[in-house]
A and B are shown apart, each in its own frame.
With several copies, the nearest count.
Chain A
Amino acid sequence: MTSSSEEKNGAAELGAKVNYSATPVNQSLTAEDKILFLRQMYRIRRFEQASLKSYNQGKLGGFLHLYIGQESIAVATASLMGKHDHIITAYRDHGHALAVGMGMNECMAELFGKRTGCSKGKGGSMHYFAPDKNFWGGHGIVGGQTPMGMGIAFAMKYRGHKGSCFAFLGDGAVNQGVFSESLNIAALWEIPVIFVIENNRYSMGTSLARSSSIKGSLAARAEGYNIDWELCNGADFYQTRAVLGAALERAHEQNKPSVLEVSTYRHYGHSVADANAKKYRTEAEIEEYKQFHDPLRVWQKTLEDEGVLTEEMATSIDREAKAEAVAAVEFADDSDFPDPSEIFQDVYWEVDNKTEAASTGRYFFGDGAPA
């Protein structure tokens, strides 16, 4: 590590002073790249809004954790990933899913519980998966995904790939013991995992100050494990991408883990069911973030300032994203629910694949169970 703990803990504010657009990982970006990132942020935002609308229309149930306000992080991450780079996250997973290239259709259909959903309607909002895009979920138990992310990265190193895994977690999730255990193992064995703390300042209704005792930052806990860590401002796309990129390089070149803490904010409540969303946060705070730290707005402004984007272009990107989301709702609406017999599918690989192993013994019990 180069800078001291105190310096780094102050770094996010100092961020503006560094010209992150000039870092190698950002310098090579074309105008198209930059516009694509904006498009992806719009797509996430419009998808989320469409899903919220559908939720309010009673078309889906359970939980719905919106990613609005945090889009830059997933988009920056996905933009850096190569063939052997993987990603895993918690239940606030729609943004990551769309960023890595999953279609709105299968994502929306999943919310609707339809068989055309990415998880055939079996996982729901919290459990999206796309192994073909190196996206390993979508996990509902707080913190539980962190050692899995480490395991994926472990496998990349084991196989001699130049690879990594980005494992996302929230500011509340850092207090799950398994995350600390994972920090130790990742450092000890030099596993190319990148833990990204999306610090949106609240875990449900609990502010960071009420959930965590820290010295400057959550990421600084990595110091005790001798892990490289950095802070960054999620509203600054260039900075976020630069910090993520540096960690990825550390993973690829030195097989070293990182802990990154990205400051961000969710515009909505913890989930759609969060009736208190405006009680534990002041209106002023929410407005402040929406006005001045919205990663989508900030990025759009940056591109306009750079002369890369016109207002018309932005409007049409937005329009397309909205249209895509509307179409996804239609697709989901028109799709079928799974057949009841499918309840017993996708439990065991061997059974699904009718292998020899599936031919011996009983796998399911009770009513309706195939013998």
Chain B
Amino acid sequence: MPLLTYRKALNDAFAEEILRDENVFLMGEEVAEYNGAYKVTEGLWKRFGSKRVIDAPISEAAFVGLGVGAALVGMRPVIEMMFWSFVYVAFDQLMNNAGCVRYMSGGLANVPMVIRGPANGGTNVGATHSHTPENLLANLPGLKIVCPATAYDAKGLMKTAIRDNDTVCVMENTLLYGEKWEVPEEEYTIPLGVADVKREGSDLSFIAHGRAAITCLKAAEILEEQHGIRAEVVDLRSIRPLDEAAILRSVAKTHRVVVVEENKPFCGVGAQIASMIQEKAFDDLDAPVLRVSALDAPAIYSMPLEKMQLPTPERIVKKALEIC
């Protein structure tokens, strides 16, 4: 299988879906002529033209709202937030319109829209540019949240998200855009709500999403090599819908859990997972469910400290050893 970057895998997903369905269009700041701030949409404007790939002014609230309106009448907008951090200026459109309009219409309407872009820290851009709002959005029934950790997942999940008839928020990661993974040449999709066991293990379960899953894989290696502990890594892939069954299967096997996320700890995704596990697998647990999150401060700029602020393999290993 060819090795593809996360970026290219996404790019291919867009191209394939644009070709497949004439209702699909991409919209966002600098996505067209500039090829995207992070080059995720490179070449697509040239190939598909201004009708399908559209540069927008810096008016996130209006163009997310435009997307909702277009989706109501059957279009399939794929809207880029140059950074998910910028979604707060468009938050109302996402929470009240994309998220609630189906309910408030008694099911008469639906909003088949994708909002996508990177949501991560670790790139020296400071607090305003390093938000990870997956927990905020997942709080609202009506929205779906996807956080792919690999190029393979990114492509398969993105294609599914675009075909989904509800609003899907896809959180990418600038630190992964340049990383390569095997991606099949033939078409494939990955369903939302199916976690991926990225590494099998018997002693301990890491539950993670997005780039944290990759960090867990590194931690699992260290644990195996240095401590003889075999950790399982469950990559959630989607936060809502959530594959609770996969989490509980892993817990039943290992009896020990560390939930890892780049999210901030307070009411983060890890809180939900930990609370769910202790409720549904109380008797399976040999130790409390522990959590590793971003250190609890706004994202710091300073380079070495910023690296420490996100979960590192070392911090994860240390946490794992507390219960192993």
Contacts and interface: CB of A to CB of B under 8 A. Distances in A.
A350 B166 contact: yes
A147 B93 contact: yes
Contacts of A338: 300, 302, 305
A122 B302 CA distance: 6
Contacts of A152: 69-70, 72-73
B293 interface: yes
Interface in B280-308: 291-298, 300-306, 308
Interface stretch (B13-21, B125-133, B196-204): B125-133
Interface string B103-127: 1111111101000000000011111
A94 interface: no
Contact of A361 (B194, B298, B309): B194
Contact of B295 (A115, A356, A366): A366
A172 B57 contact: yes
Interface stretch (B4-12, B60-68, B206-214, B218-226): B60-68
Contacts of A146: 65
A14 B315 CA distance: 64
Contacts of B166: 348-350
A243 to B, nearest CB: 23
B101 A137 contact: yes
Interface stretch (B180-188, B227-235, B237-245): B237-245
A95 interface: no
A92 B304 CA distance: 24
B89 A131 contact: no
Residue in B64, B106, B244 with the greatest tally of chain A CB atoms within 10 Å = B106
Contacts of B105: 119, 122-123, 127, 129, 131, 137-138, 346
B172 interface: no
A136 B297 contact: no
B106 A280 contact: no
Interface stretch (A176-184, A228-236, A288-296): A176-184
Contacts of B110: 349
A363 B241 contact: yes
Contact of A360 (B127, B243, B300, B303): B243
Interface string A229-272: 00000000000000000000000000000000000000000000
A1 interface: no
Nearest to B144: A348
B142 interface: yes
B194 A360 contact: yes
B320 to A, nearest CB: 13
A192 interface: no
A301 to B, nearest CB: 35
B123 A144 contact: no
19 contacts: A122-B301, A141-B85, A151-B77, A155-B69, A175-B57, A175-B58, A181-B57, A182-B65, A185-B66, A206-B30, A276-B35, A342-B305, A349-B110, A363-B240, A366-B292, A366-B295, A367-B293, A367-B315, A369-B295
The 5 closest A-B pairs by CB, nearest first: A361-B193, A151-B69, A147-B65, A361-B241, A62-B124
Given A113-B303, A181-B62, 14 more contacts: A63-B125, A113-B305, A136-B109, A140-B128, A203-B57, A205-B33, A338-B302, A357-B160, A357-B191, A360-B194, A361-B243, A363-B141, A366-B291, A366-B292
